[in-house]
A and B are shown apart, each in its own frame.
Chain A
Amino acid sequence: DTGVSQDPRHKITKRGQNVTFRCDPISEHNRLYWYRQTLGQGPEFLTYFQNEAQLEKSRLLSDRFSAERPKGSFSTLEIQRTEQGDSAMYLCASSLQQGFGNTIYFGEGSWLTVV
């Protein structure tokens, strides 16, 4: 069963360092999403790609965050100059564009702790 795969699952970094997360979506899915979840909250949308094009970005995505999906397959999310407020679970998800009501499938998440 090749679901959405994320790496690394856990990352502890010092404030000010850069971190990068990788996501491999379900193979036939052309849409890929990044969400962030903090304790006691539901996942919050960050950005999404259709194939290699980044079509929407949330206001939550500050200039320190950048996401890429260079060949329309895997994606990376980089956080530069990390701050303690960046500590969260970063969730990747994918879906197949097929008209109305696309179900989004999530990976297991990447935990980031900024110390």
Chain B
Amino acid sequence: DQQVKQNSPSLSVQEGRISILNCDYTNSMFDYFLWYKKYPAEGPTFLISISSIKDKNEDGRFTVFLNKSAKHLSLHIVPSQPGDSAVYFCAAKDTGTASKLTFGTGTRLQVTL
């Protein structure tokens, strides 16, 4: 069963505009959420995280929003840049585990000129 879902396999956004990547989860025991960015043939790179006690966390151009009641989180990138083109993974940690992450299947973001 897919406990972390990224229902949009791809997204295309114009440079300078906002990119919004979405993630839904089903496990109410998840208490920490992370976004990773991945280029081809490389490992995932940590971007930003949020704990379940918050509803927003911001770091430069990246903001993550968490809606616990809807079991939904989103990553906003403003403004989008061509270098942001990559696959973005949402990941979640279960409160019952030390640090094991459950990942979504990823959304490929393409930022066009």
Binding site for B on A (CB under 8 A): 4, 6, 31, 33, 40-45, 48, 50, 55-56, 91, 93, 95, 97, 100-109, 111
Contact = CB atoms under 8 A, between A and B. Distances in A.
Given A33-B99, A42-B105, A56-B97, A100 B32 contact: yes
A108 B43 CA distance: 4
Contact of A4 (B36, B43, B49, B91): B43
A113 B89 CA distance: 23
B43 A106 contact: yes
Contacts of A41: 105-106
Interface in B85-104: 89, 91, 93, 97-104
B10 to A, nearest CB: 12
Given A33-B100, A93-B43, A106-B36, 4 more contacts: A4-B43, A56-B97, A97-B99, A101-B93
A48 B43 contact: no
